[in-house]
């Protein structure tokens, strides 16, 4: 038994599990994604409605409660923790939580602590992220054209994101860029983004848009199968499949002409459910066992019902036993989302 002291409160004993959590289909759950806030300083058109209604702050778990929940999952075999949002770096005092989770890295209970961000706040936080034990981050970036960037984010500033990426690299953080492939918007820009990323030592992953949450535009107008994108890229690049993995759902190729890696995340055309090792926790303490299903577990009640982590641990066990085999995303002209919640609620 080890004791982890952190900036969020008293030391708490961490009794690590004998093995990982196993779902009904024999998959080990070793990866937790935590949405620390549903708020974001962008309003990306494929992700959010322009006039979003965010959760009242009183409904959010405190940073101390998030720390306790994350620690409970780590004690049960989670080895990788990703903080997401919304935009995680807009949450007040978020670096206290990052530093608290960094103690699990120091103690050897966690293999990786990482973050998905839009990059807007990176210049301010990059050095401290590295100091807290973060070594790798994902930055969402769908275009390198400043006008198109403002259009897709509704009010974001590309230069601010690029400055954040530069600051993160100077701090020693490895960066993977995530780009949602959008028909008629950035499909012809992917080759130049690929070269730009690889020239700077960054991987690029392209992602199919997913039917989550009500938005103003018709998703069928933007949906681009990555099978088509890959075929188009192979007209000018040599793409060699490689077994490289980061713990997430991306399938990677090496680009012979650049020497860099390109990832494909294909929830629509080729889902990755057979190897899913992930669950997602929201900032209200709701656990989603699958990104594309509505079933969820209320961990906030268990968290607040007792200071004894045994009760919380049992609630987590019950939830893992309900993890489904997979999702069934469909995009059609009815424009109905597969699930009503926006991606910013569950976290990317």
The reported pLDDT for the residue numbered 1 is 41
pLDDT per position as a tens digit, 180-225: 999 999 999 999 999 999 999 999 999 988 654 454 455 456 788 8
Residue 111 pLDDT > 70: yes
Residue 260 pLDDT > 90: yes
Closest CA to 221 of 342, 330, 343, 333: 333
Q: Domain segments of the chain: what residues?
A: 22-346
What average pLDDT does this structure show over 301-316? 95
CB-CB contact of 98 with 44 (8 Å) = no
22-346: which CATH topology? TIM Barrel (3.20.20)
The reported pLDDT for the residue numbered 16 is 64
Q: Does residue 12 or residue 105 have the better pLDDT? A: 105
The reported pLDDT for the residue numbered 246 is 83
Residue 278 pLDDT > 80: yes
Output the known binding site.
Answer: 33, 40, 44, 46-47, 82, 86, 116, 140, 176, 210, 273, 276, 278-280, 290
Output the known binding site for [4Fe-4S] cluster.
Answer: 40, 44, 47, 273, 276, 290
**Tokens 């933007």 — which residue?**
222
Instruction: Note if the bond before 107 is cis, omega within 30 degrees.
Output: no
The reported pLDDT for the residue numbered 48 is 73
The reported pLDDT for the residue numbered 271 is 56
Output the known binding site for S-adenosyl-L-methionine.
Answer: 46, 86, 140, 210
Output the known binding site for GTP.
Answer: 33, 82, 116, 176, 278-280
Read off the tokens for 37: 């806030």
Q: What is the mean pLDDT of the chain?
A: 87
């Amino acid at each position: 038994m080890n004791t982890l002291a952190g900036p969020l409160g008293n030391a708490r004993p961490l009794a690590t599990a004998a093995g990982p959590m196993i779902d009904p289909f024999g998959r080990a759950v070793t990866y937790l994604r935590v949405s620390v806030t549903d708020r974001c300083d962008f309003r990306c058109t494929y992700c959010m409605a322009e006039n979003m209604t965010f959760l009242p702050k009183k409904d959010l778990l405190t940073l101390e409660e998030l720390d306790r929940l994350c620690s409970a999952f780590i004690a049960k075999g989670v080895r990788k923790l990703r903080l997401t949002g919304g935009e995680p770096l807009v949450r007040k005092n978020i670096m206290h939580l990052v530093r608290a989770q960094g103690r699990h890295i120091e103690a050897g209970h966690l293999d990786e602590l990482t973050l998905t961000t839009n990059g807007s706040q990176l210049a301010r936080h990059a050095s401290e992220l590295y100091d807290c034990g973060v070594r790798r981050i994902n930055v969402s970036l769908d275009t390198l054209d400043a006008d198109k960037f403002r259009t897709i984010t509704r009010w974001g500033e590309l230069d601010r994101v690029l400055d954040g990426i530069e600051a993160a690299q100077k701090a020693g953080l490895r960066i993977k860029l995530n780009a949602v492939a959008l028909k008629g918007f950035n499909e012809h820009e992917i080759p130049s983004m690929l070269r730009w990323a690889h020239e700077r030592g960054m991987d690029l992953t392209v992602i199919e848009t997913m039917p989550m949450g009500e938005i103003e535009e018709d998703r069928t107008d933007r949906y681009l199968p990555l099978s088509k994108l890959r075929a188009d890229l192979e007209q000018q690049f040599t793409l060699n499949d490689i077994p490289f993995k980061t713990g997430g759902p991306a399938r990677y190729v090496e680009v012979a002409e650049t020497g860099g890696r390109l990832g494909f995340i294909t929830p629509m055309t080729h889902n990755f459910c057979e190897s899913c090792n992930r669950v997602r926790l929201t900032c209200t303490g709701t656990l989603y066992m699958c990104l594309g299903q509505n079933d969820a577990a209320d961990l906030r009640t268990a968290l607040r019902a007792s200071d004894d982590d045994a009760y919380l641990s049992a609630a987590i066990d019950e939830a893992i036993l309900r993890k489904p085999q997979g999702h069934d995303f469909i995009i059609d002209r009815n424009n109905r989302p597969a699930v009503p919640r926006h991606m910013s609620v569950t976290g990317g």
